[in-house]
Copies of this chain bind each other. A is one copy, B any other.
């Protein structure tokens, strides 16, 4: 396929997607060209549109097409609560529960020294400034319960507690619907410690 520069460029382009190797990229390119050129055109337009229109909310850092996102400008939100999450997907998961009415700060990442991701990359000074504006009364840490998420939560908690703020963390425990027999030991141990 030496005369197929467009095809090679498409395969290279698809490889920029996370988790897509050269085999998957070839399979995707074949599928689009053979069965879904309309989908390929839609995707091209969506990529173009997204990269030019989407920026970060100046208040909470999540993706938005506006200067300040709809959540941040919603007057029904409780501005005394600020929930810290790693990504917009985590924020969306919390929103789906409809159990939280406060505002958010989206780190757009997590502290990860091995990957060279430090406090600046996740906007911690911005977060500290926001959390100490006098309006926020409680910061709820909802970073993931992974090693990096926990470390990130720890760093934020220490800094904000030193500034006299109330800092809480999502409860760890047994997932709803689980049978104890099949839950891992660490989770049960945490659920015991955090019992109410």
Q: Is A92 interfacial (CB-CB < 8 Å)?
A: yes
Q: Assuming A33-B50, A109-B34, is B28 touching A17 (CB within 8 A)?
A: yes
The minimal Cβ–Cβ distance linking A82 to chain B, given in whole angstroms, is 18
- Cβ-defined contact, B88 with A30, below 8 A: yes
The minimal Cβ–Cβ distance linking A175 to chain B, given in whole angstroms, is 18
Which residue in B4, B28, B63 is a CB contact (below 8 Å) of A33? B63
Q: Assuming A16-B42, A47-B43, is B3 touching A87 (CB within 8 A)?
A: no
Taking CB atoms and an 8 Å cut-off, the chain A residues in 127-176 that contact chain B are none
Question: How far is A10 from B17 in the complex, measured between Cα atoms in Å?
Answer: 13
Question: How far is A41 from B7 in the complex, measured between Cα atoms in Å?
Answer: 16
Which residue in B3, B44, B66, B108 is a CB contact (below 8 Å) of A34? B108
Question: How far is A48 from B16 in the complex, measured between Cα atoms in Å?
Answer: 16
Instruction: Convert A32-47 into 0s and 1s, putting 1 for each residue whose CB lies closer than 8 angstroms to a CB of B.
Output: 1110110111111111
Taking CB atoms and an 8 Å cut-off, the chain A residues in 42-68 that contact chain B are 42-51, 53-54, 62-66
Q: Is A103 interfacial (CB-CB < 8 Å)?
A: no
- Cβ-defined contact, A54 with B3, below 8 A: no
- Cβ-defined contact, B3 with A46, below 8 A: no
**Sample of 10 A–B contacts (CB below 8 Å):** A1-B69, A10-B49, A14-B43, A16-B36, A17-B31, A18-B27, A29-B50, A40-B47, A43-B44, A44-B48
New A-B pairs, 15, CB < 8 Å, besides A1-B92, A30-B87: A2-B70, A3-B70, A5-B65, A6-B65, A7-B63, A9-B45, A9-B46, A13-B43, A13-B45, A18-B27, A19-B27, A32-B47, A40-B47, A43-B44, A44-B48
The residues of A with any CB-CB pair to B shorter than 8 Å are: 1-7, 9-10, 12-14, 16-19, 24, 26-34, 36-37, 39-51, 53-54, 62-66, 69-70, 87-89, 91-92, 108-109
